[in-house]
Amino acid sequence: MESTLLKVLFVVLVVFIPIHKAYTQEAISIQFGLSGFKPYSTQDPETGACTGLAVDTTKYLLESAQVTVNTACVAPARLFRSISSGIIDLSINVKSTKSLENKVTFTKKPFDSLALNFYTNEERGNIENKVAAIRGYDYNGYRAKLVAQGYEFIDVPNGVDAIRLFTNRRTQHLLSYGGPFADYLEDKEAKKGTLEPIKITRELLTNIPTHYAISKASRNHDVLVEMFDKIDSESDSEYHLDHRN
């Protein structure tokens, strides 16, 4: 009788241990990188902390699965290099970004959808064809389209600098996503030292879905792909940003 019980116990242990390991996620730590893109991400000028809707949502989605999310807000060009090398494990971007081509795995479900706008200051001058934009952004192919139409791009490191260039009448046009521009207009601190435009028109060019971008060079690539597949399968929400609602 005792021998039979020991045999049963042995079989249970042999069967149970592999199954348990297959469904247990070991704790990992990842680097989540973003460029300054209010209200999704912004760097605190005093502490240097990277905060915003994208940071909060990502921590909400992953930290319950024992993932420590370390965040950094960096310039787009540096961000793309860090993703390519695997220093940054995870980011958020649009699928058409040429700097990330073949270097990331995008999640199936979008993080959110962005309105890409072409803003024009109706004051006329000798800057009619100049467009303020972020260096390294191809804006879903619209940069190339505007260049082909004769527009000249004045590139700066981030979105706030591009908006300031435009509102200070250094360019007549601005290529920007709607969220950062609307946030800038409401931010009195950010607008200090800039001129108020007399009249601005806005043309909606397109709505672009953004996705989590998982670096193919990251040692955590396969784990993150599996995690997001699981997250997507367990929710009916249209966007990742909706998970917290």
Domain ranges of the chain: 23-112+209-244, 114-208
pLDDT at residue 195, as a whole number: 59
Out of 3.40.50.2300, 1.10.540.10, 3.40.50.970, 3.40.190.10, which CATH number does the structure's domain 114-208 have? 3.40.190.10
Contact status, residue 123 vs residue 199, Cβ threshold 8 Å: yes
DSSP code at position 99: G
Q: What is the pLDDT of residues 148-189, one digit of tens each?
A: 999 999 999 888 899 999 988 889 999 999 988 988 888 756
pLDDT at residue 160, as a whole number: 86
pLDDT at residue 162, as a whole number: 93
Single pTM value for the model? 0.77
For the chain, residues with pLDDT lower than 50 are: 2, 5-24, 245
What tokens appear for 113 in the block? Answer: 């959808």
Burial 54-72 (b: 16+ CB within 10 A, else e): bbebbeebbeeeebebebb
pLDDT at residue 234, as a whole number: 87
Assess whether the region 23-112+209-244 and the region 114-208 belong to the same CATH fold.
Answer: yes
pLDDT at residue 9, as a whole number: 40
pLDDT at residue 124, as a whole number: 65
pLDDT at residue 192, as a whole number: 60
E-strand ranges in 135-172 read 152-156
What fold characterizes domain 23-112+209-244? D-Maltodextrin-Binding Protein; domain 2 (3.40.190)
pLDDT at residue 68, as a whole number: 96
**Residue 74 to residue 36: CA distance in whole angstroms:** 7
